[in-house]
Amino acid sequence: MKPAQVPGARLAIGAFVLTVLLGVGGASASALWEQSATATMTVTANGAWPGPALAGLTCTNDSPHKVATLAVTVSAAPATITYAALQASGNYGTSYTGSTILLPNGSANIVLTASPYSQRSQILKDNAAGPLTVRVTATYLDQTAAFMDVTLDNATANGKVSCPLAPVPVRH
């Protein structure tokens, strides 16, 4: 069947040719191909990050290595400072706040006692002898938090806890 034999074909072809010749609809058809748009997006955070929460973490021992003191230095006073030990599963265990002495500038000392057993810090009692990775976390009032890790030698068999030989790197 030829296109001219289809009912209404002549009318459709004629309307098409007339539209093209007169330019009717040409602008709108062209506009469909040339449309463009720009968008502007603004993002506002709910509060400001207080900066690096932990400016430093040092570890010192007493002379017989019965006590390790973790000195935590912060850039702004946090709401809480907690610490937890890395477990064999790869997760951190119970968070402790006990034995944390908050200093006036917002810094803190975490005192870990290995001996005598009756005074041993709970974090040392809860973990087997050997390397003990302790994560110190500062949590601010706006719920932002930052942490640093330090690995100690938890030699519970001889009642000692030893700081690492190398200084703890500061991470921001």
Predicted confidence pLDDT, tens digits, the chain (172 residues)? 565 567 777 777 777 766 765 665 555 555 555 556 677 777 666 665 555 567 788 899 998 999 999 988 887 776 678 889 888 788 888 888 755 666 666 678 889 999 888 888 888 888 888 888 999 888 877 778 888 899 999 887 788 999 987 655 555 4
**Size of the chain in residues:** 172
Contact 111, 69 (CB under 8 A): yes
Q: What is the pTM of this model?
A: 0.64
For residues 93 and 123, give the distance between their C-alpha atoms in angstroms, rounded to a whole number: 9
